[in-house]
Amino acid sequence: MSDAASLIAVRRALLSRLGRYQAWAVVEKQIVERLRACFAAHPPSLRRIDLHTPPAILEQIVKYEAVHAIRGDADLRRRLQDDRRCYALFSAALPGQPLIFIEMAFTRGICGDVSSLLDTESPVVEPKSCDCGTFYSISSCDEGLRGIPFGNALIRAVVEQLRHETPWVGTFATVSPVPGFRTWLEEVARRRGGVLLEAFDALSERAWMEDPALSRRLEALLMPACAAYLVSAKRGDEPLDPVARFHLGNGARLERINWLGDRSPAGLQRSAGIVANYVYDLPSVDSNQHAYRTAHRIATATALTELAQRAA
């Protein structure tokens, strides 16, 4: 076992017990610094994952996919076909193990429906007919690596590589979950009551998706509420939503939200099926990131800010 692997294993164990033994936090921070030094000495490099990747690594991709579980061989193959890409960071400090990986699809315009990307029966499209690279999942490959900032480096490296390999792609965006929305919505709805509470209670009945009139009423109430959650709900000075913190902290712009963009059980449970698009506009990524870090300002499309202002 490499030094990095040993440190990661110890940190994983520490993280699982920090709630009970808070004094261990000092040791945990020391391990993080040693890991940072280890990966600084062996900088991660980008590698594409495809159907020719060794099976042992493909097994890790399946194991660690944290956003949209890979449902067997057919699902894995579909995610690695010509209109898709999967990239991972590897380091000599941790031989044979990806550190973090990201999945994307070439799409026509910014995709607001991740369910269509996860459909194993969907037709393979010609990448050159697409103008957008849509990232739909990013996953760390070990709990012991949590909080070590590989994500920003991975996204930037992938965008730079695709700009050279696929120059016809002019937009890079995400179709992302909004994992904290329903929990926040319940708290706000129970405090305020009224139509917002009625809307939240309606979500507990699966029939709402099969009732077009009810679905439209919920959309009219919940889309502004979700916009307000992403724009205004805070954890300290940062967005309450963890995915928003990640992408906005990396310099992305919160572009729009989409009704029923994830109709999976997980998507409905997380956010009533709402998904968000974050755009990585390279000329403004650095300035967005600087504004976020120094003034806690988030880059948000005007239409989304206006939608948030209509929240009940």
Selection from 263, 230, 250, 235 nearest residue 291 by Cα:
250
Selection from 154, 32, 185, 181 nearest residue 87 by Cα:
154
Sequence-ordered list of residues with C-beta below 8 angstroms from that of 195, at least 6 positions apart, any chain? 221, 312
* Catalytically annotated residue among 164, 247, 264, 287: 247
Contact criterion met (CB below 8 Å) for 122 and 78: yes
Strand-pairing partners, residue 87, are 48, 102
Angstrom distance (rounded) from CA 163 to CA 155: 12
Q: What 8-state DSSP symbol labels residue 254?
A: E
Give the chain's radius of gyration (CA, Å).
20
> Is 247 part of the annotated catalytic residue set?
yes
Contact criterion met (CB below 8 Å) for 2 and 93: yes
Contact criterion met (CB below 8 Å) for 85 and 107: no
51: phi then psi, degrees, rounded to nearest 5: -70, -10
* Catalytically annotated residue among 6, 176, 215, 287: 176
CA 196 distance to own-chain centroid: 27
Q: How far is CA 91 from CA 31, 40, 85, 200, in A?
A: 18, 10, 20, 45
Angstrom distance (rounded) from CA 257 to CA 248: 15
Strand-pairing partners, residue 134, are 105, 173
> Is 296 part of the annotated catalytic residue set?
no
CA 160 distance to own-chain centroid: 19
Q: Residues with catalytic annotation?
A: 176, 247
